Amino acid sequence: MKIMSPIFSFFITLFNMIKRALAPIVQPQRLFAALMVIGGRSATATTSCGNGSSSQSPPSTPLLSSKSSTITSNKKAAIPASQLYIPKKSTLDSRQMGNYSREYSTTTTKKLIFSDTYLNDLFWQLSSQGPAFEVNPNKIDFIQEPIDFYNHLIDGVKRSKKRITMASLYLGTGKQEIELVKEMKLAMERNKELKIHILLDGLRGTRIGVDKESSATILDELLNLYSDRVTISMYHTPDLNGVLKKVLPPRINETIGVQHIKTYVFDDDLLLSGANLSKDYFTNRQDRYVLIRSTKSVSNYFNEIVEIIGSLSLRVDKDNKNQLLLSSGSIDPVTQSNEFKSLAYRKLSTLLKPHSFYPNSTSDNKSVDSPFDCNSINNEETTWIFPTIQMGPFNIRQDEVVTSHIFESVPSDSKFFITSPYFNLTENYLNLILTGKPKLDIITCSPQANGFYGSKGLSSAVPDCYAIIEKRFLQRVHDTANDKRISVQEYIRDKWTYHAKGLWIQVKNQSHPSITLIGSPNFGSRSVEKDLEAQIILITQNKQLQQKMENEKNYLWTDTQDANLELFEKRKVSLMVRVLVYIFGLSFTKSITTTTTTTTVRHISNTPTSESPKILEYKRNRDQVINAHNEKFRFSIINLTKAANISKTKHNLSISDAQLLGKLMSGVSMCASFLSDEERISAQIISDINPTHIYAEAIHVGEVRGFLINGDTPRLETPDQVVNRKGIFQFSKILYGHLKPIQSVVAVEDKDLTITKEFQHYFDQSEQIPSFIQLETKLKTKSNNNNDNTNYIVINDEIQKQPEKEEVEQQQQQQQQEIINSNNDIVDNDQLEFNGGILIQTLPSATEEDLNQLKSNIEKYSLADLFLNEKKSIREILSIVTNNDPSIEVISTIFVDFYCRCTLKTFKDKILTLGINEIKHLEEHNHNELKCIYCNRYHYLKDTDFKEMITHLEQEKEQKLKVLKEMENEQQQQQQENNDSEKINDETKKE
């Protein structure tokens, strides 16, 4: 026994070492999921087909997640959101999420989209990540029963005249599925213009069932009969390649990634769901379904998603229906996976156009630049839809970004509801839920409602594995003292399974939900990282639609039971399941770390946080503007270094010109930080000496752009005043409730621009509020490219950092004078090390003496040196220059980016004002290249664009002529009536 004990310990230690070493490589959660579907079939998912065989549809979601954190031991605290790596951008080119201040962005004077503060701010947050669609709430319905879902599919096929577009994981091979395909054939016979596009997953769609059929074989006859009007696309994940492609058998290979979008378009009707096209989803597998009728813009958007994915997909081989072939000229996702991912990203990311608003009344599927140009603004009909997509293989993370934001931002006075059949949250989602504040109800499936309940082999362990995950989540709820805030219910209905996914939010002072998310994504790692997903976020203040959302939610909660730790004490889990979860659940236990939940401190504090140095340094260097106030002043302080360098590169500016433009952008960004949402500030300096035109504009939400021109070049918005040698400074505000911009113009006092003096002169002459501004830049020359901080050049208008050595001091002063007074480049690729500033404006209780004292204190410091040499954040700098005043409260921190909203559409709208003759002239001379003056981006007009504009103007002209003709006819008719009346009067008089 003494000999066996160390041997046993040795093998245990060796096993743990191998387990830790191989976990990141083999992805145990996927291997485990694969094992679960090898050994048997789901009893509830196996149904009788028309020919006596069976049709099977096991759940496609893998059980365990490499980023989940639902299994834990005795860790007490959840991880705060500030310490999580939560993505903030839908794509690499997207705006960053989270630039709206929920507490302070809504005022009583500005125009609102929604009357509720949270709904209104969420609207702007979501619109920063993609398009928004205004919809008629009366055209939205929620379906409750699976049989009704099937009937709507059949009815949609029968009614379609132009298009049928379906996306699903797979199409089953049972009697009802065959009937659905039969209706498609009849529809094609009736309507010669009808086209059908069906997108399925290539792996699942070609998997042969026990009846020797597959989705591909079921669709074979339809494709052969109408090959010119029917497209069957089979998506293949680019992550299944190399050795994995060769060794993984069917079913197991689907754990690598699939096409998981469930969208069904019939002409201009959209039916969105999480349900696949198979018998159990038509009979006894509960899901969610929303029908949006006669809404062309939304249907077109989802149709375009399917078209783009379809263009990247494989086609079915006509000779071998379960074999997939490449389309001509397409990229192979298996042998050219990187190229495939790159192409998919480029195509799909074009869908995510921020601040694109589609009015409900539009018939041409064109967007407008502002939601205030739409119809239902802050009234009882106001309803908007935000589609989201999540495609981890292509690094498109829109759904994850907005879902994380919703989890983090739901107000404490709201009610929050989540449904998830596979309750296996990612680490981020789990911690955001545990650190949240609102009352939260969760519904998941009981072991009996799991799709694998009653199956044979290893698959029989799946329900118990999810039960373990659920139990450990409840334990985490208890350990984090969330028992009273978070409750869990289990769906349990005899011989039914559960597949509903999504959430609802009921805001303060509302009796029903105002927000819902519905579609294909679950809240697990597979949806986030591996599969292709799509859903919608629906926001409404229409009472009837809110009631429909409430009814749908209540229907799902009808067949539920409370889940608590006492319930799990009664459930017996086999030793095999516990061992499997232990072996393959390694990543679970690692995802929870010991931490202390912190309370957000809104006052300025220099107390160090527990974030990693890399995160802190990233946040410190990130372009941002901080808004703060106390009882006497309001403050805005900014670091805009990256945006200034981007503008330098985009416009190919000299370093001195880059400094001028950078300061102007800093100034307008700080002024805009005092505004709300899309309110805008612009400033420009116009002169007859170089630079002849400097322009910058910014909006509150963190966007800034600008340009600088040397030479006699046409200028934008040139005021009427005569430009003299010294020039003018024009300042404009575009505010809610004002039809026209509020503009002020002052003369430029000195021909040698510093920007600080120009801003200060404007504040002194035109602003009613006493203000003080200080703008700074700092650069590093090529010749001084070392780590000696004394070799930096500081350009701070009046304050200069003095090096210790007299010789170096003289050299720097000479270089500084050259930079300010000339346009000579130091080095073409020089970059600014710092570009920023501080703006202070008085409040009514402040005196002139208070402002002068604060100004004197700020002028003692160089913001650039504090930032670069002392490594202070701009929040810490604000504290330093204000003598650590404890009364200063930070209102908001807004990340700022150089961002231009130019699109081909905006150019075309401008060109339309030139008239039809000028447009034809441009077309004849092939003048199709358009350049944005703000960002130097080129846009190109195609022949179709010229044709579209000319047709638009011709139709507009015809409409005007028609109106004039009608007016002329009315006048003639009126004249005739008057003449007849006079004639009658004359005859009457004669009588």
Helix (H) or strand (E) holding 625: strand 624-629
| E strand intervals along 398-485 | 415-419, 439-445
Give the three-class secondary structure for 515.
strand
From 236, 262, 632, 780, the catalytic residue: 262
Strand partners, 48: 54
Selecting among 116, 121, 201, 267, the annotated active-site residue is 267
Token readout for 390 is 């999540």
Helix (H, G, I), strand (E, B), or coil: what is residue 571? Answer: coil
Q: Are 188 and 153 in contact (CB under 8 A)?
A: no
Nearest CA-CA partner of 385 in 313, 302, 457: 302
Pick from 867, 654, 664: which is nearest to 781 by CA?
Answer: 654
∠594-597-603 over CA atoms, to 5°? 140
End-to-end CA separation in angstroms for the chain: 139
**Contact (CB, 8 A) for 956 and 949:** no
Render 272-316 in DSSP notation, one character per residue. EES--BSHHHHHTEE--EEEE-S-HHHHHHHHHHHHHHHHHSBEE
Query: What values do phi and psi take at 781, rounded to 5?
Result: -80, 160
Of 540, 699, 529, 534, which is closest to residue 128 (Cα–Cα)?
A: 699
H-run or E-run covering 222: helix 220-225
| Strands of the 742-747 sheet, one edge to the other | 742-747, 728-734, 680-686, 693-699, 703-709, 897-898
Q: Could you write out the three-class secondary structure of 539-561?
A: EECCHHHHHHHHHHHHHHHHCEE
CB 907 within 8 A of CB 654: no
Among 331, 272, 296, 336, residue whose Cα is nearest residue 141: 272
**260 carries an active-site annotation:** yes
SS3 label, residue 977: helix
Q: What would you measure as the largest C-alpha separation in the chain, in angstroms? A: 140
Spacing of C-alpha 811 from chain mean position: 50
Active site includes 629? no
Which 3 state secondary structure label does DSSP give 324? strand
**938-940/929-931 β-pairing:** antiparallel
Residue 24, preceding peptide bond in cis (omega within 30° of 0): no
Residue pair 28/35 in contact (Cβ under 8 Å)? The answer is no
Pairing of strands 415-419, 439-445: parallel
Show Cβ contacts of residue 946 under 8 Å, excluding neighbours closer than 6 positions.
919, 922, 923, 928
Q: Is 373 a known active-site residue?
A: no
**Inter-residue contact 81 to 431 (CB < 8 Å):** yes
Please report the beta strands in 326-397, taking only residues with DSSP state E, as ranges in sequence order. Answer: 357-358, 383-391, 396-397
Cβ pair 121, 100 in contact under 8 A:
yes
Give the residue among 791, 880, 885 at the shortest CA–CA distance from 838: 880
The active-site residue out of 260, 321, 341, 405 is: 260
Q: What is the DSSP letter of 259?
A: B
d(CA 490, CA 556): 10
| Degrees, nearest 5: CA angle 233-239-242 | 110
Residue 445 pairs in a beta bridge with 491
275 vs 289: CA distance, rounded Å = 8
User: Residue 243 is which amino acid?
Assistant: V
**How far is residue 294's CA from residue 278's CA, in Å, rounded to a whole number?**
26
- β-pairing, 502-506 vs 324-325, is unpaired
Catalytic (active-site) positions: 260, 262, 267
